[in-house]
Homo-oligomer: A and B are copies of this chain.
Amino acid sequence: MDAEESLRERKRRESRKAIAHAAMRLFAERGFDQVSVADIAIAAGVAEKTVYNYFPVKAEIFFDEAGDILAELLAAVRYRSAGQSALDAVATFVAGRREWAAGRRPEQPTSRFRQLIADSAALQSQQRLMFGRYETALAQLLAEETGVPAGSAEPFVAAVALVGVLRAAFETSAGGQKPGRDQATAALDVLAGGLASYAVAPQ
């Protein structure tokens, strides 16, 4: 069903990509908030309404490429090797993504990507929305695994913590600190240890 793609579907996919590509180029040049949807439409050679046809919200364009990490993360946890903890699965996944990100030509350096987000409240909001979706989906998965009713606190908190590892890997590396692999494992250790490092008040 992949081989068979109607003209219409192909064009639609191409249009989507064209819009996203043109938009990302403008974003990288000027910053997210300094690019209007009208600008994007002109750059992509379509009407403003068409842009909204593909992306109901402007900020979605920005995360269009990076958007399917959710499915990968869920799969990494769901189909983790027997005997592996969910925590390990996430850590392994993060490490894998990191290598992947490092191994491609920096047409758009990751640092620039992060900077654009840091400079725009709208993008930060959208990013939080995405992480929230990760949490919800992961919580549901964990609830199924453990047979706990969906919506319970346990899987929710666990999911939040797991996605926290992902967020830590992304956000803390912004400061240009350690390679990042250390960060992920450190975060993992904190969680696996039951937050033992914060067990006692300092005074």
Interface of chain A residues 135 through 189 with chain B (CB within 8 A): 142, 145-146, 149, 151-154, 156-158, 160-165, 167-169, 171-172, 175, 177, 183-184, 186-187, 189
Residues from 1 to 27 in A contacting B, C-beta threshold 8 Å: none
Contact A156 B142, beta carbon cutoff 8 Å: no
Which of A153, A160, A199 has most chain B Cβ within 10 Å? A153
Chain B binder among A35-43, A47-55, A100-108, A124-132? A124-132
A85 with B200, Cβ < 8 A, contacts A151-B175, A153-B187, A195-B191 known: yes
Please give, as numbers and ranges, the residues of chain B lying within 8 Å of A165 by CB-CB distance: 157
Q: Does A61 contact B (CB under 8 A)?
A: no
- Report yes or no: A186 in contact with B85, Cβ–Cβ below 8 A: no
CB-CB under 8 A from A162, the residues of chain B are 195
The answer to whether B87 and A161 have CB atoms under 8 Å apart is no
Which residue of B has the minimal Cβ distance to A80? B201
Distance (whole angstroms) from the CB of A151 to the closest CB of chain B? 5
Complex: A175 Cα to B148 Cα, angstroms = 14
Q: How far is the CA of A156 from the CA of B163 in the complex (A)?
A: 12
Instruction: Answer whether residue A86 sits at the interface, using C-beta atoms and an 8 A cutoff.
Output: yes
Binding site for B on A (CB under 8 A): 80-87, 124-125, 128-129, 132, 142, 145-146, 149, 151-154, 156-158, 160-165, 167-169, 171-172, 175, 177, 183-184, 186-187, 189-195, 197-203
Q: Kindly list the 4 A-B residue pairs having the minimum CB-CB distance in the complex, ordered from nearest.
A: A160-B164, A153-B183, A86-B198, A157-B187
